[in-house]
Chain A
Amino acid sequence: MSVATSYEFLDKVIRATPDGEKIRKCLQCGTCSGICPYGFAMDYPPRSLIAALRADDFHGVLESDTIWLCVSCFACASVCPAKIPLTRGLLATLKTEMLVGGSIPQELQAALGNSRRYGNALGESPKKRAEWAKDFTVPVPVLSAHKKPVEVLWFVGDYASYHPRAQQASRALAKLLFVLDVHFGILGPEENSDGDTQAFTGEWGLFELLARKNIQAMSKYQFKEIITGDPHAYNAFKHEYPRLGFDRPVKHHTQYLAEHSDRIRALLQNRGPRRVTYHDPCYLGRANDNNIYEEPRQLLRAIPGLELVEMSHNRAQSICCGGGGGGMWLDGYSWEKAHTRTSEWRVKEAVAVGAEVLAVACPYETPRFEDAVKSTGNEGKLAVKDVAELLVESIFG
């Protein structure tokens, strides 16, 4: 199964990726390497990687482990003039080769092992996946107990279920759905990780295993559409799950809420002036041209007293928080190699534009940016909040 030569590897990339043959058109312009947030620390940033493969130096490539710096942020793929599917095709496939060859940082191994064993990367008990909602002020129906058709299946996700900070955003979304009288349900313990991030660490096999479990669970229930607060899950349901035979309408929570913006607007109150900037998650925006940029902004602008300002890198140019592609599980590794964190750059940008609040829309982002606020010495100056949390604060105070 392991590919031995550059040719075989390129062939694999081409066959395994939609539009993979575009890799042959690489101009070696270097825009990809230039825009890559960790390109400076990689032995083979994307352009050099293609050059090495053309020079038949696959061995040299495999000897380096800096591919693990890739956070699968799609920056390279979004700027490539030849539209090569670099992130999903070239880089993720190289990670697969590294895994097959046994090269994997220990931290990542733990996360992948946990995903396989417990259905979540954090190694938490699957039985406790809905504990965040237990005895909460608003009901959060678990579908296996609810037993009735719902309008919306809310796919919560790993971090939103288990991580204490992300759970707060989950509770905020639950309140919003309640206030909007949405008939929804969650999978609870039947839910597994969406698998998208695991796929981008090269573990497509693990992705498929997790996806099939989720598909089996979701197929038991009747619902009109899926919503999720997790852009990675959104990306998976939109682009990858259909390949496995599961193709249902999916929306990110900001998209769904934006559809109800008139009703939400009526509930929002002015809690005082706030200068807020919004961070575009990679997987909501430029990844796979998902291009969900305006709906979150529409919601934020609706909050009375909220002044929305833009950071210098916004929308398709957004700087990754560093959590994708396994980055969430490679913090020690990337720090050792790069001695810098993209999340810190981002926080500095937010501060530079005078923001008091950095609004986010992905469960990876809240803990990552909060850590960066502390490590850049901005504690007390910049708060990090999910869009759902800001809406809830405005409605409930």
Chain B
Amino acid sequence: MCGEVCVVVEVLRGEVKDITYTMLAAGRQLAAGLKTKLTALLIGRDVQKLVAQLGAADRVVCVEHADLAEFNPDAYLHVLIAVFEQHAPRLVMFGHTATGTDLACGVAHRLHWPVATACRTFSLGNGTVQCSSLTCGGKLIANGPLPEPSCVVTVMPGGYKAEDGQLHKTPTVETVSAPGLDQVRTRFKQYLEPPAGDVDITKQRILVSVGRGIQNKDNLALAEKLAAALGGVVSGSRPVIDQAWLPTTRLVGKSGKQVKPKLYLAIGISGAPEHLEGVPEAELMLAINTDPKAPIFDVAQYGATCNALELMPLLTENLKK
């Protein structure tokens, strides 16, 4: 794996998460440009069956152990350090997620490598690798080099198409035994399932999504009526869920669900990356926000800066005509 591009596969409950494909798509480009190989590092238990999904990689390295069945931060970190101490890749890519961000800094520190986070796109030039990150709530782009000999990155979705990271090839597979895990200081106990019985927003064609801009729980009714008129359902961004105006099952975003509706109406949502991660591909996105500079307008196809609380009932009326 020395000098290779290595993608640490993001797995949750036995499923390969989409960010993996974004990383593989980016990784393929980088590996080609650096004239090296793309390796996918798969950690878990009984993970060989996932190899078929990792065709975009030249090689998959599997590390399996009973203690690695579910994500366990310290255990996974031990594994990664053991693997990379043996072979130092040129780049180690983690998803910018609850699992990836637990690991990236530990790896970087222990192996004395730099770490760059929230990367969206990468580029090659003059033999150097550059990354571009979106920061400050989506209001600032930062560009910088990823130094040699090795560098760790965490990757956000949106810079590459997932399909470019999904190829129907068969990668070579290697197994590596896990290092001793008796010094591990964290232990996975159990999952706590999300509350059942609510609408599954990932299956909805139309979403009326509300953010901080609706100001209070009361105004939710306006969104509900609009959603009903559209034949859709109400979802929300983080601040709305934190205030318990909507249950967590309605959260669109990094910590919530990823939705791919036909219509996404973003009401009073600024468009911070954490939210936009939840709606990478909507066929039609409309945004209503009084701030003309809100980042959401760089993603939505149509927008308006009028007062959402006034607009919603009027739009509902107009739709009924």
B310: chain A residues within 8 A (beta carbon): 374
B243 touches A106 (CB 8 A): yes
Q: B217 interface residue, CB < 8 Å from A? A: yes
Which among A106, A331, A332, A335 has the highest number of chain B CB atoms within 10 Å? A332
A131: chain B residues within 8 A (beta carbon): none
CA distance A107 to B290 in the complex (A): 19
CA distance A106 to B245 in the complex (A): 12
B290: chain A residues within 8 A (beta carbon): 164
Secondary structure type dominating chain A contacts: helix
Q: B216 interface residue, CB < 8 Å from A? A: yes
Q: How large is the interface on A (under 10, 10 to 19, 20 to 34, 35 or more residues)?
A: under 10
Which among B215, B216, B218 has the highest number of chain A CB atoms within 10 Å? B216
Secondary structure type dominating chain B contacts: loop
B313: chain A residues within 8 A (beta carbon): 374
B218: chain A residues within 8 A (beta carbon): 331-332, 335-336
Contact bitstring B199-234, A, C-beta under 8 A = 1, else 0 = 000000000000000011110000000000000000
Q: How many chain-B residues does the 8 Å CB contact rule pick out?
A: 9
Shortest distance in angstroms between A275's beta carbon and chain B's nearest beta carbon? 26
Contact bitstring A327-351, B, C-beta under 8 A = 1, else 0 = 0000110011000000000000000
CA distance A264 to B60 in the complex (A): 84
CA distance A105 to B130 in the complex (A): 47
Instruction: Please give me the residue from chain B that is nearest to A370 by CB atom.
Output: B310
B215: chain A residues within 8 A (beta carbon): 107, 331-332
Instruction: Please give me the residue from chain A that is nearest to B219 by CB atom.
Output: A332
CA distance A107 to B217 in the complex (A): 10
A107: chain B residues within 8 A (beta carbon): 215-216
Contact bitstring B63-86, A, C-beta under 8 A = 1, else 0 = 000000000000000000000000
CA distance A331 to B214 in the complex (A): 12
Shortest distance in angstroms between B137's beta carbon and chain A's nearest beta carbon? 14
Contact bitstring A90-127, B, C-beta under 8 A = 1, else 0 = 00000000000000001100000000000000000000
Instruction: Please give me the residue from chain B that is nearest to A333 by CB atom.
Output: B216
Q: Which of B270-321 contact A (CB under 8 A)?
A: 290, 307, 310, 313
Shortest distance in angstroms between A41's beta carbon and chain B's nearest beta carbon? 16
Shortest distance in angstroms between B313's beta carbon and chain A's nearest beta carbon? 8
B residues contacting A by CB (< 8 A) are 215-218, 243, 290, 307, 310, 313
Kindly list the 6 A-B residue pairs having the minimum CB-CB distance in the complex, ordered from nearest.
A332-B216, A332-B218, A332-B217, A335-B218, A331-B216, A107-B216
Give me 17 A-to-B residue pairs in the complex whose CB atoms sit less than 8 angstroms apart, sorted by A's number: A106-B243, A107-B215, A107-B216, A164-B290, A164-B307, A331-B215, A331-B216, A331-B218, A332-B215, A332-B216, A332-B217, A332-B218, A335-B218, A336-B217, A336-B218, A374-B310, A374-B313
